[in-house]
Amino acid sequence: MLKQTRHDQILQLVKKKGSIETSELCKLFAITEMTARRDLDELARQGLLNRTHGGAILSLDDLQYERPFNTRLGLNTAAKEAIARTAVRYIKDGQKLFFNSSSTVLSLVQLIDNSRQLLIATDTIRIADELNTRSQVTVIQIGGELKKNTLASSGYWAETMIRQFHFDTAILGVKAIDIDGNLYCSNLLDRGIYDAVFASTDQIILIADSSKLGRTDFVKFGNLQDIDRLITDKDAPAELLKTYNEKGFSVELA
């Protein structure tokens, strides 16, 4: 097989799956590990993907792509776990909660032990599956059109279902927060979910690691003044935190 043909096929695989391992490339193309690494290095130099330890993920510059849920689980894990340990203290027995599609939220869910008595709705299969192993937690899976990469429900039916409920607290991940506190998601489908949750919830807690701060994305859906608390990690830029404090935003460091 010509190298260019192999490179084209590697890119198609990464776009489909979100990531690839060198060991997988060796099996698929009957090449050595050294050749697989060289292929990924060359594609990374062209800006077509980003190298990781043992493989590669899709380039962050691909604006039409939403990272698979499982790919996001391996990013900034220490910060997410610290945030989750802080956020779990705001969950009280008897609460009715909403959790959205977020790898940081999954870190929080994994800390909820089997003794907690809660009702939790979520738009995400991965989170619902994890929660369903807790015998005292009632799980409501939000329906709708299932997004391929994130396994999250979206669209009219998902939004309509959310608006039928009233939640004590929603704990939400977010794609980006800019210097003015504007909140961003990647697409209009996600915007509809956020709007429905905001309209149906008494208390909104955002959890986002520091890599999400001082950034923008495609669709605005609110501002930090609209939420009750942002929990982020201790690596958040000091100047940005100062700006948020001056604007009166509630920010807690994990």
* 122 found inside a domain: yes
pTM, rounded to two decimals: 0.75
Same domain, 169 and 148: yes
Sign of the CA dihedral running 149, 91, 243, 81: negative
* 65 found inside a domain: no
Structural domain boundaries, residue 54? 3-59
Report H helices in 73-187: 77-87, 103-109, 125-131, 156-162
Same domain, 131 and 30: no
- Count of domains observed in the chain: 2
> Domain holding 32: CATH number?
1.10.10.10
Instruction: Look at residues 87, 94, 193 and name the one whose alpha carbon lies nearest to residue 138.
Output: 94
For the chain, 254 residues long, give each residue's pLDDT as a single digit of tens: 778 889 989 988 887 777 889 999 999 999 999 999 999 999 888 777 888 888 888 765 554 455 555 555 556 789 999 999 999 999 999 999 999 999 999 999 999 999 999 999 999 999 999 999 999 999 999 999 998 778 899 999 999 999 999 999 999 999 999 999 999 998 888 999 999 999 999 999 999 999 899 988 889 999 999 999 999 999 999 999 999 999 999 999 99
Same domain, 43 and 169: no
Same domain, 109 and 211: yes
